[in-house]
Chain A
Amino acid sequence: MPQTRRGLVSWLLGGGVTASIAAFLYPVLRFMAPPPIAEASVNEVTAGKVKEFKVNAGRIVKFGSTPALLVRLGDDEWRSYSGVCTHLNCTVQYQESSRQIWCACHNGFYDLNGKVVSGPPPRPLEEFTVRVRGDEVVLSRRG
């Protein structure tokens, strides 16, 4: 076989094999490197830093794919419930004046234990556990 032909073949073969192996190895290695967020926030989420929350104030944070309501009642007293109203799924909010959880859509009220006080909601709000780790507030599902 002429020298140039042989050269073409080994060039193609060698180059192709190397390129294809690189094209396979690169994704595999990138896949194995841990991503910036280490795991899906299904059962636990960091809601923010402790100092971001004022006393007697509530905030909606994202927990997995749904909103969660976090209320700071005192320096060390926190409550957290699912932010989805059990009536027609509007997002609830904390009402400082009455110290209750209020849903603006049809005037439903829940107390700070998540139980329905008045209005149309048929069920209480699901409760989440709040833990303070260092300077961060962490929410997690119960059970």
Chain B
Amino acid sequence: MRTAALFLLFFAPLAAAGNSCIECHAALDGRLQKPALAFKIDVHSTRGFGCADCHGGDASSDAPAVSMSRARGFKGKIARTAVPELCARCHSDANLIHKFKPQQRVDQIAQYRTSVHGKRLAAGDAAVANCVDCHGVHDIREVRSALSPVHPLRLPETCARCHADAGRMSKYKLEHTQFDEYRQSVHWTALAKRGDLSAPGCASCHGNHGATPPQVNSVAAVCGTCHVLFEELYKKSPHQPVFAAMGAAGCIVCHGKHKIEKPSVKMLSGVGSVCAQCHEADSAGGRAALEIANRTRELDAALGRSEEILERARQSGMEVSEAQLQLMDGRENLIKARLAVHAFQTAAVAKPVQDGLVVAGKTYAAGVAALKERTFRRFGLSISLAAILATMAGLWLAIRSIEKNRGQRSGTDEG
């Protein structure tokens, strides 16, 4: 009883606004109490909406018979298949929503109906995701809040609630390994470990409300929204028409779907190379792959040699920061060369490799010059040491001669 009184005091402001639902439910326990407690941080609550706006009924009355009467529109617990229509009542009403947020989109329900989730829900499957599964139900936060389940940093885990569940997914004959694979990818590392909110999560490629896997011929375009140059090169490359004819989706063939790892030259040649999966070693394609691999390896090695000699010079005390900066340009050329791989033609890779080799050559020469300067300094040091030692020898001899003479006299000072 004391608890109930405390709760009443706590929720008095809401009661003043005429929300008997919160008042009563907060005093209950378990499943019936949770929504009442959670609702105060809900974005709808802060905008002045209450329980009755979704569940119907009369929030101004304390009597359950009145507040929860069907006559007053009380719906009780909303059926899962009815949730999207309920949310859309407001969220597709442009006039209403734009009173609160002028730029907010109002096409979410339309998009949802095109999605796999929406289509299945419309066919009566209550197990697929609806609005509240992703956004929360009584503690809905804005998407940009870090605690929202659909905040970019938390979205993959939210999707994984179902899509990583083998039992659920087997019903639909879908895989359940995507989340595990995604977590090994560079995109997840960028998102979760570096906090780069621009890195793609599930919705970035699959869409959020209109969630659908990209079709085969649109994969390159999807990746290309960020990786622009790669898509441009790929589109003009010999691979594009071939993959399109095979019904294979562009980037995925070599880089994978969810477990996109950091690419390396090992993908081009050697054991486990991706190219070898289609191209025989002595075919034109196989030879091109090997040539491209060799050229990029050559540049990488040249840059490595420059780095090593400059580091050696730096550690023996020479100041080589400018050459080390120039070397960064060389590293950029290597990046450009690896970009050019996606034209799948040797000539395209040769140009940035050549530019990079020029930089590597210049910086290597700078390293050699620095080591030469170091040798020159030691040479200069030996000259000064020689002069110093000669002087010390002279002093020593002078002292000896003075004191030998003094020994023959009686120990007074010498001029």
Chain A residues proximal to chain B, CB less than 8 Å: 1, 5-6, 8-17, 19-20, 22-24, 65, 87-88, 90-91, 104, 106-107, 119-122
Contact = CB atoms under 8 A, between A and B. Distances in A.
Contacts of A121: 198
B332 A20 contact: no
Contact of B387 (A9, A11, A19, A87): A19
Contacts of A14: 394
Contacts of B325: 65
A130 B228 CA distance: 31
Contacts of B386: 19
A5 to B, nearest CB: 7
Given A23-B387, A106-B198, A120 B226 contact: yes
Nearest to A87: B198
Given A12-B390, A16-B388, 4 more contacts: A1-B404, A5-B397, A12-B393, A122-B197
Contact of A12 (B196, B225, B391): B391
Interface in B307-357: 321, 325, 332
A131 to B, nearest CB: 25
A20 B384 contact: yes
B198 A91 contact: no
B70 interface: no
B294 interface: no
Nearest to A11: B394
B390 A15 contact: yes
19 contacts: A1-B405, A5-B401, A9-B394, A9-B401, A11-B394, A13-B397, A14-B394, A16-B389, A16-B390, A16-B391, A17-B391, A17-B394, A19-B387, A19-B391, A23-B387, A104-B228, A106-B198, A106-B227, A120-B226
Give the interface SS of chain A, mostly helix, strand, loop or mixed. helix
Nearest to B224: A107
Contact of A9 (B321, B389, B397, B405): B397
Given A104-B228, A106-B198, A122-B198, A20 B387 contact: yes
Contacts of B401: 1, 5-6, 9
B398 A107 contact: no
A120 B387 contact: no
A42 to B, nearest CB: 13
A76 B197 CA distance: 39
Contacts of A6: 401
A88 B332 CA distance: 13
A19 B397 CA distance: 18
A9 B346 CA distance: 74
Contact of B398 (A13, A19, A24, A91): A13
A121 B397 CA distance: 74
Contacts of A23: 383-384, 387
Interface string B189-215: 000000011110000000000000000
A25 to B, nearest CB: 12
A122 B194 CA distance: 13
B229 interface: yes
Contacts of A122: 197-198
A14 B393 CA distance: 11
* Most-contacted residue by chain B among A90, A107, A121 (CB, 10 A): A107
Given A19-B387, A65-B321, A12 B394 contact: yes
Contacts of B321: 65
| Most A CB within 10 A of own CB, among B198, B325, B383 | B198
B226 A106 contact: yes
A107 B390 contact: no
A45 B110 CA distance: 56
Contacts of B216: none
A98 to B, nearest CB: 13
B395 interface: yes
A119 B321 CA distance: 32
A16 B383 CA distance: 11
A1 B405 CA distance: 8
Given A107-B226, A120-B226, A13 B395 contact: yes
B146 interface: no
A120 B299 CA distance: 29
A82 to B, nearest CB: 15
A110 B387 CA distance: 62
Nearest to B322: A65
A6 to B, nearest CB: 7
B17 interface: no
